[in-house]
Amino acid sequence: MWASWPTRCCGAAEVGRETQPGTRPGTLPGTSLHADALATLRSWTGPTPEQERLRARYVTHLEAHADGVFRESVPDHLTASTLVLSHDGARVLLTLHAKARRWFQLGGHLEAGDVSLADAAAREAREESGIAGLVLDAVPVHLDEHVVPFCRPGTGDPARPVHHLDVRFVAVAAPGAETAVSDESLDLRWWPADALPEPELTELVVLARARTRGA
């Protein structure tokens, strides 16, 4: 779960549904997830030149690393996150990260049981928000690359900085949705979309609100 740091509903996925194994019989672990991530990022178009640069960077990373979706890929690996908006788009749900002590959107590392980037983002949103029935837009809304000092997967050179290549999605909570703080968070809070605690979230929030208004 992090910010910058360290769509249309035809592609929507319900956050509360069960995930299926991300590996087909006879394939290497993560093969299906890697293929989905590569296909998703190849077909996506970034909304700005910088976003397009990052998209190309992510694609190049995945083409070069068969394990590039998992934290064991050092120094770079993908992560997936979700910006949860209130039903009217006026507020965003952020978590106070226990290690970074900063307010971020919900998210984290991809796991072997995830079948797609959207599934990973949905799982993280469900686990970290406690909200049942979130509807996630399955098309990415934003990308962000950031160095994360506290991410040490136990492989490679610990002196090399780890880069999270975050793929961000958006989900909308139902009116009156009840939240629950996870054990990975110090706090969970709704913030006004025009009064964010972290300025680096601004572009993500603007793009997410525009996406949901155009759904």
Residues 6 or more apart in contact with residue 1 via CB below 8 angstroms: 81, 95, 97, 104, 105, 106, 107, 108, 124, 128, 184, 185
Q: Model confidence over 154-169: pLDDT tens digits?
A: 545 556 788 999 999 9
Neighbours of 97 (CB within 10 A): 20
- Whether the CB-CB separation of 92 and 86 falls below 8 Å is answered with yes
Q: Model confidence over 75-122: pLDDT tens digits?
A: 999 999 999 999 999 999 999 988 889 999 999 999 999 999 999 999
pLDDT at 5 over 50: no
pLDDT at 212 over 50: yes
pLDDT at 9 over 90: no
pLDDT at 172 over 90: yes
Tell me which of 191 and 17 has the higher pLDDT: 191
Give, in order, the Cα–Cα distances in Å from 45 to each of 139, 164, 176.
10, 20, 34
Q: Sorting pLDDT into bands at 50, 70 and 90, what band is 13?
A: very low
> What residues pair up with 12 in beta bridges, in sequence order?
137
> What residues pair up with 104 in beta bridges, in sequence order?
95
Residues 6 or more apart in contact with residue 157 via CB below 8 angstroms: 74
3-state secondary structure (DSSP) of residue 172? strand
- Top-tier CATH class for 9-213: alpha beta
Q: Phi-psi category of 26—alpha, beta or left, where left has phi over 0 and alpha has psi -120 to 50?
A: left
